[in-house]
Amino acid sequence: MANMITPAPSAQQEALLERVRLKPSGAIIVEAVAGSGKTTTLRQVCNLLASMGRKPEEVMYMAFSQKMAREMTSKLAGLASVKTTYSIGLSAITKGLGKRVAVNQKKALALRDHLDSFPHVRAMADGERMEYKADMIRLLEFALMGLVQPTLEGTEALLDHYGLDYSPAQTQPVLEALLEATKRLAITGKREITFADMIGLPGVMGWYPKTYPVILVDEAQDLSPAQLHIALGSLAPGGLAPGWRSLSGTVPRRSSGSPGRDAIALIASSRPPGRRRSPCRLRSGARLAMWTLPGAWSLRSPRHPGPGPGSWRS
């Protein structure tokens, strides 16, 4: 039982709850402006699922930080298991390898040393070489978070978006080599990973974490493609219709038959107006539906938050 009072649902929230009652499967996307009650809506769904017999260990809420995880653990006590994106990614890597890995940010030093194998890097002056290596490690992290393939086109898009003034043709083989090196260091020897690896490697390697019949994702406008991979990969078989694909191009694993109960993914998103889209961010529930979850049941709130007619709050 939750340890705080959940407000009575508004008409729009009740429509969503009715959808869950009638069809507790598939994907539901809720798009609303900040402060309009998306998190409250998720809590209302948790209360409904509990009344329908769902146990807390069957419902997973994905948080983007330890602070958010602590807050939601309190708000969803007795209703859901709260996990951070990093802990989910780490579990996917451990499960994929069948072995424990070591989280070590100093792995980046080994990757930087690997860049000395390129003649143009060795030819640089010391200061220039240090700056170049730091930029290439950043580019690798961006590629991991965005599940951007190290093709010439993908490299050019990353360089352009992040304002890095390097030749795409010269950078592409460097990025490709770094990606291969970070994979090799994760699966051999000391099996070391960085925080960027925790999020990106599951999508790159096609690894999936423990699954849950219900997953809840808040603030989905800030999902990266790599985070989307581990989020949807956490959904138990049967929750995604055939043909739904993650941005990594892989299909979340599912069995040929349906599970004992249907699985459901509920994703809440704000839509920041007027921002340039990043290769590492989806930015809106509308794009999430269009690119990734065709056929998802979607609900969009009025544009202006706050109490009043047509708002999310009752």
Tens of each residue's pLDDT in the chain, 314 residues: 444 555 677 788 888 888 888 888 777 777 776 777 777 888 888 999 999 998 999 999 998 888 989 999 998 999 999 999 999 999 999 999 999 999 998 999 999 999 999 999 999 999 999 999 999 999 999 999 888 889 999 899 899 888 899 999 999 999 999 999 999 999 998 899 999 999 999 989 989 888 888 888 887 777 788 888 888 888 887 554 333 333 333 333 333 333 334 566 777 666 543 344 444 444 444 444 434 454 556 555 544 333 333 333 32
Which three-class secondary structure string do you get for the chain?
CCCCCCCCCCHHHHHHHHHHHHCCCEEEEEECCCCCCHHHHHHHHHHHHHHCCCCHHHEEEEECCHHHHHHHHHHCCCCCEEEEHHHHHHHHHHHHHCCCCEECCCHHHHHHHHHHHCHHHHCCCHHHHHHHHHHHHHHHHHHHHHCCCCCHHHHHHHHHHCCCCCCHHHHHHHHHHHHHHHHHHHHCCCCEECHHHHHHHHHHHCCCCCCECEEEECCHHHCCHHHHHHHHHCECCCCCCCCCCCCCCCCCCCCCCCCCCCCEEEEEECCCCCCCCCCCCCCCHHHHHHHCCCCCEEEECCCCCCCCCCCCCC
CA triple 232-82-302, angle to 5 deg: 70
pLDDT attached to residue 192: 94
Q: What is the predicted pLDDT for the residue at 241?
A: 36
Round to whole Å and give the CA distance between 177 and 90. 23
pLDDT reported for residue 252: 38
Residue 6 has a pLDDT of 59
pTM of the model: 0.76
Is 180:205 a contact under the CB 8 Å cutoff? no
pLDDT at 218: 80
pLDDT of residue 206: 87
One of 3.60.15.10, 3.40.50.10490, 1.20.1050.10, 3.40.50.300 is the CATH number of 11-95+202-300, namely: 3.40.50.300
Torsion of CA 303, 308, 310, 314, to 10 degrees: 120
Instruction: Give the per-residue pLDDT at 27.
Output: 76
Cβ-Cβ contacts under 8 Å for 52 (sequence gap 6 or more): 21, 24
- Work out whether the CA dihedral 272, 276, 280, 286 comes out positive or negative: positive
Sheet holding 26-31, edge to edge: 81-84, 59-63, 214-217, 264-269, 26-31, 297-300
**Segments making up each domain of the chain, as ranges:** 11-95+202-300, 105-189
In the chain, the amino acid numbered 236 is: A
Amino acid 270: pLDDT:
61
